[in-house]
Amino acid sequence: GQNIDQPTEMTATEGAIVQINCTYQTSGFNGLFWYQQHAGEAPTFLSYNVLDGLEEKGRFSSFLSRSKGYSYLLLKELQMKDSASYLCAVSGSARQLTFGSGTQLTVLP
């Protein structure tokens, strides 16, 4: 089976940097994905990592360590519109995605 853990809630200030952690235990690994979901809306794809290391996409970066079963999503220069839930998801041996419960990020002015 697969188990994914991420913090339930985080709060940060506009303009700051925030790191959202995700740890996982999985049978088979084909990649780790991060999605953003605003309340009542569909999840939207942010980034993925297949190999160890850092992937950067503008204000968003994602890091993966397969040996530690660990990933993080780094958001820089936070904006109010970044207030959302951030979902960590692992693609396992069957290439299905297993999602964590999500981290609700609140950005304060």
Binding positions for another protein, rule: CB under 8 A: 8, 30-31, 33, 40-45, 48, 50, 87, 89, 91, 95-102
CB of 64 to another protein, least distance (A): 13
Residue with smaller CB distance to another protein, 19 or 101: 101
Residue with smaller CB distance to another protein, 40 or 109: 40
Could you give the CA distance from residue 29 to residue 22 in angstroms, rounded to a whole number?
Answer: 15
CB of 15 to another protein, least distance (A): 29
Closest CA to 47 of 33, 66, 30, 65: 33
- Tokens linked to 70: 């660990």
CB of 88 to another protein, least distance (A): 9
Could you give the CA distance from residue 4 to residue 76 in angstroms, rounded to a whole number?
Answer: 24
Could you give the CA distance from residue 10 to residue 50 in angstroms, rounded to a whole number?
Answer: 26
Residue with smaller CB distance to another protein, 64 or 78: 64
